[in-house]
A and B are shown apart, each in its own frame.
Chain A
């Protein structure tokens, strides 16, 4: 878990470096995520430590240092609505498909789900959106084109989750992950392009991962 969190920290630090925040911010990101992972390892309540990271990122954004990542200015309401629709649709579809196709049941008890949600909000979704959308897709679409940016960022996004040690390794889960994450990644690229903000993509991803965490095998 700590290794995964360090990986998230590396993604977040790279994104911050591309945004011009300097090495110190990257180190802070890695340290914060590592410390949060260590706290989470002690018990589900410790996972709340992950929530420090988005607060710190929000503080950086308020100071205008993350504008190139799409974390500045107002967030269009229509984009938020579209993000909620996308996340809810993909998450809902995942729940229905997984229960119908694989017979997966919902996870019992809220404790593990809340800890996983804190991890998603503070590490998983935050780092992935900052790196794959805010940094990688944004750069690629400026250098080449929207389509190239989508393909590059989405492919990297899918690969990142396929090599994630927390993903179940059965073929159904790998294919499902590739399918849903490709749709989520492409959708989030479009949301970023449309709204100019990273927030809608983060909302969609949080909703999707919330649905994923509800599944019994959602790690």
Chain B
């Protein structure tokens, strides 16, 4: 497929590079903007903010969402907060420090120019959200409150109780609905994007399925923006909402968009663990709990006593023991790996010994129950509902769960994929998080992309490349519809007997075992073979009841799972090719004697951008080298 395009990185000093880039971008006169219809897929933070902002500028925007309302997008579930470098507090935070933390947190596997831009934009995001009426937490004096969050040594995380994502999303959703009312956004809900339409290698529209009528629809535009989120649901059990899926980005990949760093997936250390086989998801407990909770396990493996009966000297506060400087606040991947090791060694607690304690006892003794309730009340209520345990009286049980995918479609500095006219925003792109994302940075990136970056770069591309919108009976549209129809017919006609979920559950187990917290070559190779076999079995044995017309949630699921197989194989392949440990990607062959990740900057300081091997089965790997000027790669050390 396509070679690696120019990433369009800015020249000269990093600081201010984004302002200089923006000032050089061509503009479109307000009176002409109505002639450039745009298509936005997804209504999470990135999609809703981009659609609203582009419509405010005068572009006619069509928005597609698989939800019944844009307000349901999974950004709504983000709990902890949003980072911003306001550089006013005396704790030494600055744009430069947020930039450095992002680049270091990503273990030097992201572009420095992108990280720098994110830090520079961060403060304006907070201003925008405040102006929309987002009810951020405030200090007594009325100024914006901040807290320190997962792995940061400064207090730069803005929050709205434990529902920051919800409040930010409603801000963007309301801005979007304002544009719907103004007639500048056409909102189409309950639509699943199932394919991308390209002509001469340029994105011109999408095919989607109306989830109520079952009809296949063609939507055409001058540019297509995908903001369709991440792919943690490849693991079946994850913190993602059940319908979160990769079909839009995966089908775009099959049409030629490069997929970058697919193996960079984040496993979040603080989730409510799994129990019953029919459990449908793993619920995240915001890691802000690690500010006040102490993580521990019994010193003695196989200790069956209830936590209250285990005396202090027989508790192993293993993160505090191994990382005295950071303690319970070590980065997510480190915390996850240490928990997994001890559980494998038999120290785990709860059903199947698959969890660790997160204990609020000392914080409650220090601050009082009321203050802990004020800080985490809604989280603790949720824990109590799900687990049936009282978290004020007995330690919470937590375990790592797939949570966020740093990988995604490759984009250049202007967020355009390797398919001209196709832009990718938010978690759907491979973005600035490198091999690991800092806590409270996902919301920042989604909104930076949607409010500030895409609204500058998409019109710049249109100014030079806009072509008349296709006619819906163009052969490219008919071909795309035929591809989707063939996939649907194949699934409905399989004649098997097994429900979709049974395959998804097996795929998830395969992936968490072979490509989860810890990976090694033989496991990855076995995983590749097993996923390929499972995929074949799926197409032969799956049962999708009902037909193509009318609502059919099982068909929706089957289409998504069918796409997860291909993506799973690409993740395994990428994990196999990356012969180093970096960030959340931990290869057992590449570790120090102390069990820490060993990065290989000589051979792997690159973005792995995979092209879909259309005629050959093998995907094609392109390497975009990473260069660092402001900050040189250092070995991460949290000891």
| A interacts with B | no
Interface residues of B (CB under 8 A from A): none
Interface residues of A (CB under 8 A from B): none
